[in-house]
Structure 1
């Protein structure tokens, strides 16, 4: 057995050292993407410009946060307006953002003690507060964009549910430390372990306890495509999006305009290249291989049981108002996650934005958006070795999806009840009958040291040498003097927690690109004060990050 595992690890090590390549052209269809946005194939047949001040590669939540922040905050030059091109290999927002669980549920007490030991108390607190800030930040963004209803961005009560007493006891100890060090942030937590309390939550009798706090949920695809639609319309002279236009290479020119982004449809000269491709980052940045490792995860959309979410002992119907993380065993790394779509009664409201061009179709019907199973069930070890380093989101792991297809009825047994069916054929015509409406996969970006990688990419990592003079001179030659010095940038590696990292990481990177009087020269780039410094990319961090450390924890 040990020999077999050793062989599997050797094969895995070889696999994650390779380029992830370009995204496959015919991926599985995530439930979030039906119906598709009007900008799904935007710019597919349009002529590429010869030049852009900034080329952003990737059209998910990271790229959207970056372009929104730059466009809404840039002081335009009337003679030479800022030009930004966004390149997308497939449909708009068809990567991890449109394939995740829709949960804004950051790991808090779960990671705090480890972060404190590794980085010190103050840095650990900053990371926790950064993660927590995403819910309010995304709610604010959705409101500003008039997308609160259509994006379903909302607060929910979230529950960490435990089926193993040993792990539950350990997590209670971690929660106590978290609440002692961060009393304001920990005040919303409540530990539930009495049978009456657990029954009221409709959880299985096998549940040993749970922890409750406030978190969030969102329809990520609608949020991102709604924002991009507004930006394309409002900044039509500055911003262009080209779908089905993969960036196949980035080259350093050694000239005044330092970069060329090449695609099958033509090349674009640029002063700034932004890598916002998460799990695919190391395709264009070979130095990031084994630093950001792709991994395939599986998701499902399921019809809830008729008995679930109903009034229990006088309680209110909680459909669409809760999210869950289920820990089935002793390992904290083995969990499943669940959010629920709003109930059918929201149908009229959900369609309200259609005439404005924001609404994107059918209202939800209380679907259970359930994912995980990565290290669960009888195929856990096989699934692990198959998933890590895998960038093929055309298919999924059979064992994992089989596990996900049956787990919910057990997690909520006996409250689940009989299977639910929509009242109209229209709502069901595109999806499978039975409990599972849809299942799909998506590609995560696992960071070797567990932290996102954000900032200007050092040339030792990019393997591309910019024009030497650009390393010291201020931005006097650029057509847009308000930007930071030319260069390559990255914002990626969220290790499955993109909704609690990506938006504000993208915002921080955009502020770095916009520049201040202190960071118009390379080497003096400054992130906002609220951004965790340990998330910034540097040669020193890059040298230390070892993916084997992450693999050992799993």
Structure 2
């Protein structure tokens, strides 16, 4: 499990988002025919982390003159382009887990950061007039058995007892009948509602990158895997199959594949395979009967129903596979039939009145993607302690949409010389010497929406 994750597969599956972006001008994009001879800053990876870091660098104060972004495959072809389109902060759920590892102060900061991320996401989308189907809603967590309900109740209570903000943010529905009525889930044991959102992730990334290219001179090079980054006096030499060039600073936005170029992350950032599906709902969940919220369901499943077309994006089903088949797996070319069946069968069981599906209704397509899980369930963000002018933003733990925007903004400021304290980010996100020296462990358990690699404190 501590082996190098290697490189992204050359012929991956196409997600719902990528299927519907075949007209993108960024497919195969290379801003210049040849690689630059030198740059001020080079970003490796073109998912939301890479795109947002480029955006905040180039639109911030004293922007660097020459920024390059290298992508091994196509733009947004990794975890961001394969996720569930869910922008869903954790408003209480994993508090107990974080507190056990990092203490009360940091646990509260981790939860607050996710609320800040949702707000910043909405702010940037509005400021830049980004058409990415962004939708704000009040989303429920829906436990469907007593162990999950007990875990969520305990975490909620500990969060409240420690001064965590819930007034006007989290609505707790403990009456079982009311929870079932409010969620349309006949097996609900309770529910927790809080702010969330959804969007079309590829469109967000494509807009940010296009803006950076057209207005701020970003040099984007797709189909250019980085094979090595070698220290030199005053910076780094970036080596690719198309040649090499010099850069003053380098940023690794490589998520599950970070340990390929940075071996010190082996055993700390783990590839983890997930699956997601596009579902055409029956009439009972279409038109005026559509779901009005996004959901976290039962045992790690989650969904959004897109207001623009009514298609449900539904992900999860990890519990049907042995962990060993998912952890360390970098194959996003194919899906596991067992997970496909679980995704197909779940919604009729979860939701009341999900009638028999007509021709072309139900699950119409599913795909796989590779997430970057970490031992503690939080990302690595900051300057590498033993590599001056090298920075990382990776290991978002299948929860990047609720973390990346603030992480990218903070990291861009740090790259430009700001202090960590000025970013407002949790100190525990930093890739410190102590954090990377800690023994690696890979225990996977499930808390609410997300599987967590770390200590097994939640319901299995």
Q: TM-score, normalised by structure 1?
A: 0.76
The two structures, once aligned, show a CA RMSD in angstroms of 2.1
SS in 2 for 1:106: coil
Per-residue deviation, 1:440? 0.6
Contact kept in structure 2, 1:449 and 1:546, CA below 8 Å: no
Asked if 1:497 corresponds to 2:399, the answer is yes
Per-residue deviation, 1:527? 4.8
Q: Which residue of 2 aligns with 1:139?
A: 122
Contact kept in structure 2, 1:56 and 1:63, CA below 8 Å: yes
Q: Which residue of 2 aligns with 1:250?
A: 229
Q: Distance in 2 between matches of 1:278 and 1:250?
A: 16
Aligned mate of 2:86, from 103, 109, 114: 103
Q: Distance in 2 between matches of 1:248 and 1:540?
A: 27
Q: Which residue of 2 aligns with 1:177?
A: 158
Matches within 5 A, 1:36-51: 36=22, 37-43=24-30, 46-51=33-38
Distance 1:144 1:455, change over 3 A: same
Q: TM-score, normalised by structure 2?
A: 0.91
Matches within 5 A, 1:445-484: 445-459=372-386
Matches within 5 A, 1:241-320: 241-253=220-232, 255-256=233-234, 258-308=235-285, 317-319=289-291
Per-residue deviation, 1:512? 0.5
Per-residue deviation, 1:195? 5.4
Asked if 1:514 corresponds to 2:441, the answer is no
Bigger-Rg structure (1/2): 1
Q: Distance in 1 between matches of 2:58 and 2:211?
A: 11
Contact kept in structure 2, 1:178 and 1:186, CA below 8 Å: no
Contact kept in structure 2, 1:51 and 1:269, CA below 8 Å: yes
Q: Distance in 2 between matches of 1:197 and 1:307?
A: 20
Asked if 1:544 corresponds to 2:446, the answer is no
Q: Which residue of 1 aligns with 2:212?
A: 231
Instruction: Map Cα deviations across residues 88-113 of structure 1 (whole Å, 9 max, x no partner).
Output: 01111111001011111123322112
Instruction: Map Cα deviations across residues 101-140 of structure 1 (whole Å, 9 max, x no partner).
Output: 1111123322112323332322221111101111111000
How many positions carry a matched residue from both structures?
446
Matches within 5 A, 1:154-193: 154-182=135-163, 184-193=165-174
Where structure 1 has 5 or more consecutive residues not aligned to the other structure, the ranges are 1-15, 312-316, 328-333, 343-363, 422-432, 463-485, 517-524
Instruction: Map Cα deviations across residues 250-305 of structure 1 (whole Å, 9 max, x no partner).
Output: 1112x23x311111111111111110010000000011111101111101011112
Distance 1:529 1:57, change over 3 A: closer
Per-residue deviation, 1:190? 2.2
Aligned mate of 2:11, from 4, 26, 30: 26
Contact kept in structure 1, 2:290 and 2:305, CA below 8 Å: no
Q: Distance in 1 between matches of 2:373 and 2:47?
A: 17
Contact kept in structure 1, 2:285 and 2:354, CA below 8 Å: yes
Per-residue deviation, 1:416? 1.5
Contact kept in structure 2, 1:139 and 1:154, CA below 8 Å: no
Distance 1:183 1:276, change over 3 A: closer
Per-residue deviation, 1:551? 5.4
Matches within 5 A, 1:17-96: 17-33=2-18, 34-36=20-22, 37-43=24-30, 46-75=33-62, 82-96=65-79
Distance 1:156 1:541, change over 3 A: same
Contact kept in structure 2, 1:306 and 1:418, CA below 8 Å: no
Q: Distance in 2 between matches of 1:114 and 1:374?
A: 20
Q: Distance in 2 between matches of 1:208 and 1:181?
A: 25
Where structure 2 has 5 or more consecutive residues not aligned to the other structure, the ranges are 444-452
